[in-house]
Amino acid sequence: MTNAAANRTILVVDDTDDVRELVRMQLAMLGYRVMEASNGREAVDIVSQEPPDLILMDLSMPVLGGIEATRLIRESVGNSNVVIVAFTALLSAQTRQLALAAGCNDYVHKPLEVGQLASLLKRYLSSA
């Protein structure tokens, strides 16, 4: 377990079970504690009860999409400092701008290899 991973929790939000499973396994291998949500509404509910250190947020999901969920999380008391990374297959510049305007700290394309994921998490969690 790396120092950055020690006692850190990542919330993986994606409506595809296989994607959540793959990312959960990668994060566990890196030493992180993982929580999962299958849509934005579940993510908002989880964050209100137990804010994670970082959220990997899919943007295109049923029930509540990632952009709307990010806005709700940012508006809730005490969650303005949670790192939210848009984690998406959507490649448009417009989608990137919408995600960042909603409050995402970063925008990455999935899938990520474990090394890319480790670098991303180190960048946001090593000094936190």
pLDDT, tens only, 33-51: 999 999 999 999 999 999 9
- Model pLDDT, residue 2: 52
Q: Is the pLDDT of residue 65 over 50?
A: yes
pTM summary value:
0.92
Within a domain: 126: no
Q: Is the pLDDT of residue 128 over 70?
A: no
Band of pLDDT at residue 76, cut at 50, 70 and 90: confident
Within a domain: 101: yes
Q: What are the structure tokens assigned to 15, written together?
A: 């409506």
Within a domain: 61: yes
Q: What is the CATH number of the domain that holds 40?
A: 3.40.50.2300
Band of pLDDT at residue 1, cut at 50, 70 and 90: very low
Spatial CA neighbour of 52 closest among 41, 36, 29: 36
Contacts of residue 28, defined as CB under 8 A and 6 or more positions apart, other chains included, come to 34
Within a domain: 65: yes
Query: Domain containing 68: what range?
Result: 9-120
- Model pLDDT, residue 3: 58
Within a domain: 4: no
Number of domains in the chain: 1
Within a domain: 77: yes
User: Is residue 41 a contact partner of residue 64, using CB atoms and an 8 Å limit?
Assistant: yes
Checking 103-110 for CB contacts under 8 A at 24+ apart, the result is: 103/70, 103/71, 103/73, 103/74, 104/57, 104/70, 110/19, 110/58
Q: Is the pLDDT of residue 18 over 80?
A: yes
Within a domain: 97: yes
Within a domain: 42: yes
